[in-house]
């Protein structure tokens, strides 16, 4: 049991380190040797868990990036209280709380979509799965709220879901490009106004 736990800890160390390096420098610039160096693992320990960079990349997407979306953008949809205010909070609070580093580096999901989703089908499918889950849960939640009368009956919930996700992901890319918080300020004003119009 102790060996199994140690193995899981080692695997998680590799994934956490790979995610950190991919986020800092970009997926394509990071090599397995750099990940090994950062983790201080032997080649044998490293390759026991992952046979190549593609396996690491897929695992980072399906285990770390996906969990970040679930924790920060999907799970909060089921919180109690005023749905409209909750929706505003989900799509604005994280923006308001980003560190300078997070502002400069942009969104890990969006970075990976732009950098590698066109190069390998396995990455494209893994990233698409994340966005599909987020989009479908958001649309389903909006449908439930429409049935409750919280939002207008003529709202196209799938279109709203696509718009909110696209604007959230896109504004992080624009902030990364311009390095100016006015981009976030404009987004926050617009998205709050848009969500308010759903009522």
CATH code of residue 149: 1.10.357.10
Is 37 domain-assigned? Answer: no
Annotate the chain with DSSP letters as a single string: -HHHHHHHHHHHHHHHHHHHHHHHH-TTT--HHHHHHHHT--HHHHHHH-SSHHHHHHHIIIIIIHHHHIIIIIGGGG-SS-HHHHHHHHHHHHHHH--HHHHHH--HHHHHHHHHTTT-HHHHHHHHHHHHHHHHHHHHHHHHHHHHTSS-TT--HHHHHHHHHHHHHHHHHHHHHH--THHHHHHHHHHHHHHHTT-
Domain that holds residue 125: 54-198
Is a pLDDT exceeding 90 seen at residue 153? Answer: yes
Is residue 44 included in any domain, yes or no?
no
At residue 120, the pLDDT reads 87
Would 129 be classed as within a structural domain? yes
Q: Is residue 190 part of a domain?
A: yes
Note whether residue 74 is domain-resident.
yes
Q: What pLDDT score does 61 carry?
A: 97
Examine residue 67 and state whether it is found in any structural domain, yes or no: yes
Say whether pLDDT at 1 is over 70.
no
Domain count, the chain: 1
In a domain, 137, yes or no: yes
- 104 inside domain: yes
Q: How would residue 139 be classed by pLDDT, with cut points 50, 70 and 90?
A: very high
The pLDDT tens digits of the residues spanning 36-86 come to 999 998 888 888 999 999 999 999 999 999 999 999 999 999 999 999 999
């Amino acid at each position: 049991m102790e060996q199994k736990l140690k193995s899981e800890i080692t695997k998680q160390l590799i994934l956490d380190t790979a995610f950190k390096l991919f986020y800092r420098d970009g997926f394509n610039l990071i090599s397995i040797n750099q990940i090994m160096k950062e983790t201080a693992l032997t080649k044998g320990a490293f390759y026991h868990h992952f046979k190549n960079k593609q396996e690491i990349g897929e695992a980072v997407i399906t285990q770390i990036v996906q969990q970040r979306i679930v924790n920060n953008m999907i799970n909060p949809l089921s919180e109690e209280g005023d749905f409209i205010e909750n929706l505003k909070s989900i799509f604005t609070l994280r923006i308001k709380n980003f560190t300078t580093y997070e502002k400069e580096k942009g969104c890990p999901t969006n970075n990976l979509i732009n950098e590698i989703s066109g190069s390998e089908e396995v990455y494209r499918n893994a990233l698409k799965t994340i966005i599909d889950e987020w989009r479908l849960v958001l649309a389903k939640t909006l449908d439930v709220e429409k049935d409750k009368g919280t939002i207008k009956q003529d709202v196209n919930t799938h279109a709203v879901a696509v718009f909110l996700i696209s604007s959230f992901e896109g504004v992080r890319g624009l902030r990364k490009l311009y390095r100016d918080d006015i981009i976030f300020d404009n987004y926050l004003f617009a998205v709050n106004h848009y969500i308010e119009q759903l009522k």
